Every structure is written in C-alpha cells, then in structure tokens.
Amino acid sequence: MITPAQATEATEALARIDALHTALTHLVLEGGDLGRIADEVARVLDVWVLVTSTDGRERAGTLAEDQRTLLAEAGLFDPTGRFRVERAGPDGVRAGAGEVRSLRIAAGGADLARLVCFRQRGTISSDDVHALERAAAVAALLITREEAVTAVESKYRGDFLRDVFLRRAGDEQYVLEHAQAFGWDLDRPMVVVAAELDPAAASGQDEEPPSSEVRRRWQERFSAAWRMVSRSHDSGVPSVDFSSEVVTLVPVPEGAADEGGALVRQMVEAVAGDRGGGRRPFSVGVSRVVSSLAELPDAYGQARRAVEVGRRVNGGRSTTWFDQLGVHRLIALVPDSGELRRFARDVLRELAEDTSEAADLRETLQVLLDTNFNVAAAARLQFFHYNTMRYRVGKLERILGPVASDPHLRLDVAVALRVLEIAPGG
C-alpha cells in the first residue's frame, strides 16, 4: 500500500524529471552545448557529472579536483586522464562514501557517448536514474547534431590539408589565412604525425576482419580521440581524418626538437590510454621538423613512410621517427618485394629460410656485424664460449663466403638482413 508521503515523493520526483527534461530540451534548442547539459543535470540532481566519449575521453563535465581525486583513488581514471567506462556501468560502483553510474548515450542503434554521474555521499536512486536516462536522450540529440556538423567541417578541413600536402592549396599567405579561419596555427616549426589503426595481424589480435561499418566507427572514435588530445595541448593544432589515417601537425618549440618528440609521445600515450573502453591499437609515423609550409608535403611523405616501415619492422603499436629508419628508408622505396626477397635469398642463401636454425644463425650474424666481427665480444653478448663462436663464424663463412674479411660482402649481408625485416613474406 502506497502511503500519502510516498505518493507525494513520487509525484515530486516525476515533476523534477519532467522539469529537467524540459530545461535540457530548451538548452539544445537554444544552441546549448554538452557543458551546459552537464551543468543543468548537476544542479537539478545535486551530483557531479561527466560526459565522455564511448571509450572514456572527457568531453564535458562539472567535476572539481577533489572529486577527480576521489574517483582516481577508486581506480576510475587511468594515468592519461581517461575515465574507465568499462568499470562503471548503469548498476553503479562504489567510490569512497558515494556511488558512480555510467549510462550509454545512444541514438538509432549507434553508441555515441557516456553520461557519468557521481554522488559523493550516498547512492544514486532509481528516480535519479530515470532523470539521467532523460538527460542521455537529450544529449544524444545534441551529439547527433554536432556530429553532423563536425562531419561536414572535418571533410572540408581534411580536403584543405590534403591540398596543402599536394601543393595545390594556393600561395603561402592564402594558406596561412585560411588555416587561421579554422583556428590553426601553421606559422611555426612542427612535425607531421600520421597515425593508423593497426590491422588485426599487426596488432597480434586473433579476430575476424571488421565490416566496413565497424571499421568506420573505429576510425571515427580514433579521429575524435586525436582531436580531443590535440586540442587539450594546443587549440591551434590541426588534426584531421583522412579516412584511413589521422594526420596531426604537432608544434615544436623553436630550437627544441627534443621537446617536440616529448609532446608527440605524450599525445600518443594519451590517445592510447590504458587500452580500456574499446581502444584499438595503432601505429604512428613522425616526420622531420619543418619550419615552412613549403616543407609540409615532403614531411607528410616522411610520416607516411615512417608508419609503414615502422609497422613492418617493429610490428603494430609502434611509434617511428623518419630519422630512425636508416637503410630501411631505401629498401622501402623498392616497389618489387619479390626482387627484395630474391636479393636476400641470393646473399644469405640457406640463412634466409624460415627455420629456427636459420633464425638462430642470423641472430649470431647480426651480433658479429654489430661488433665488427670481434669474436670475443660477440661471444660475450650471446653467452657463448669463445670456441663455440669461432665455430659459428666458420659455419657462417662456409654458407656466405668470407664475410669476416670482405667489406663488400659484409655490406650485402647487412642489407639482406634488413630486407628480411621489411619485405613482406621475407
């Protein structure tokens, strides 16, 4: 039997939910953003609010530092600042003396974002959850509208940056002014960073190839993560989606290239997070530092080359600087991978075979090359007896020829070993 007091309480709760829904709807119609929605939900329900991406990257919120600390102590933030959405669901999780709940913001079957609610003391009631569900529906309306606008803007910005890379965007002054209209600052030293989601084989994951629709959702999430991280470091950093890759122009302080490298590493770490919340593995290529617009097309080519070669040599989840590629840069320019494999087989002979014995001898050969065929040093590095290493040197020379004494043969062998690292099916 419902008592009058319970009936009154239920009526008041419904009124509060309706009032919140109406207020939020008006906010959206008036051009409000996610920040204002978070503020209104926090005010009406007396809670702390976060709106995040589906994988936990913050988009808006009302959390103060004290509350962030409490949630971090409860293990709900990773070291990069990503909220661990996989740990807080609609059923709630304890955080100190309070409770955290996370609701999906979805529309048309598409997962758009997360609405996170934190009550510092006490629990979140079922009435609060109903109100949050209404708020999530309104937020979905706003996000859908924003994404439609962002898609058009992103294509326009992407087309413009692609034209810059193709040297057909216009003269330098026009490009700088056009970039400023986007909020971009291109008049400073920078590096071009190309980032690509790894295919399943490169990332070491055993999974079926995704459908084009799933792949597109992954790419959109990946691109959004780069934009948010870039914006958090510098609002003038361009970061655009080229459909299969995300390209970001990262500023480098004048005369401090190392700081630019540090910033790239910070951004890569922030985008990757702790790989929770559905984060996909990716690889990154970084160009040399450029100081003028005229150098950007070549820098983009360097970044593309770095990500391609870096993934072949180091596998997925790699970050490769163009200047670190060495001879791999030249090998990667050879379009005929079959010819590369033939070269490796001709030089290395049976050492080019895909067997454990051949791999073991190749490792010894590389150590000998690294030590300039100093048998004693190579033996120490491989924990072999000196006589064992001398035996191996003899076996290698029977296969390859006088590699210890012929500098030209030694160069061919060193290049062939690099070919096996980079040539597909090598």
Among 143, 120, 138, 137, CA closest to 45: 120
Which segments of 33-125 does DSSP mark as H helices, in order?
34-45, 65-73
| 206-220: average pLDDT | 79
Amino acid 13: pLDDT: 58
Amino acid 260: pLDDT: 66
Amino acid 202: pLDDT: 54
* Domain covering 166-325: architecture: 2-Layer Sandwich (3.30)
Q: What is the mean pLDDT of the chain?
A: 85
- Which class is 4-147 in CATH? alpha beta
Quick one: what percent of the chain has pLDDT higher than 70?
Answer: 91
Q: How many CB atoms lie within 10 A of CB 363?
A: 12
Q: How many CB atoms lie within 10 A of CB 166?
A: 10
Gap between the Cα atoms of 135 and 222, Å rounded: 26
Q: What is the CATH number of domain 335-422?
A: 1.10.10.2840
Does 26 or 248 have the greater pLDDT score?
A: 248
230 φ/ψ sector (left φ>0, alpha ψ -120 to 50, else beta): alpha
The SS3 call for residue 13 is helix
Gap between the Cα atoms of 328 and 310, Å rounded: 9
For the chain, what are the domain ranges? Answer: 4-147, 166-325, 335-422
Amino acid 426: pLDDT: 42
> Please, which pLDDT band fits residue 331 given cuts at 50, 70 and 90?
confident
Does 134 or 22 have the greater pLDDT score?
A: 134
| 129-152: average pLDDT | 86
Question: Taking the complete model, does pTM exceed 0.75, yes or no?
Answer: no
| 176-197: average pLDDT | 93
Amino acid 206: pLDDT: 56
> Please, which pLDDT band fits residue 176 given cuts at 50, 70 and 90?
very high
